[in-house]
Amino acid sequence: QGTYLGTCVKLSSSDGHCMYRAVEDQLGQHGLGLTLKDLRAQTAQHMRSHTDDFLPFLTNTNTGDMYTADQFEKYCSDVADTAAWGGQLELRALTQVLQRPIEVLQADSPAIMIGEEFDKSPITLM
């Protein structure tokens, strides 16, 4: 552990669950007890319920084509049921699920704030 801008830095293993573990930890500090499994399930469900908000940003790496409905469903199932890495799409879904902004601090670039439309205090990930 160390400090960064007066904030405690907690290290997490890079096993694909790290983003969700970080969100879980930050929510615990706000008194919200959602588990990694809850977060993954709710993220996947939100993405399924708002296909038009997420599907256009997913493309097949081999063909460059937008995901089909079946590929999108598999993607969402992987979010919910595997250690698939989370990224900006999943963070966006989480802000919607939690109705809370998420700030992502990065070493070599400016911080990114996702979900700025929500008035609750943000959770911070690094």
- pLDDT tens for 97-114 read 999 999 999 888 899 999
Domain map (residue ranges) of the chain: 2-125
* Assigned CATH class of 2-125: alpha beta
DSSP 3-state percent helix, strand, coil across the chain (nearest 5): 45, 15, 40
pTM value is: 0.85
- pLDDT tens for 43-90 read 999 999 999 999 999 999 899 999 999 999 999 999 999 999 999 999
In angstroms, the Cα distances linking 52 to 29, 71, 105, 114, 124 are 33, 14, 28, 18, 27
Q: What is the dihedral of CA 117, 59, 19, 12, to 10 degrees?
A: -150
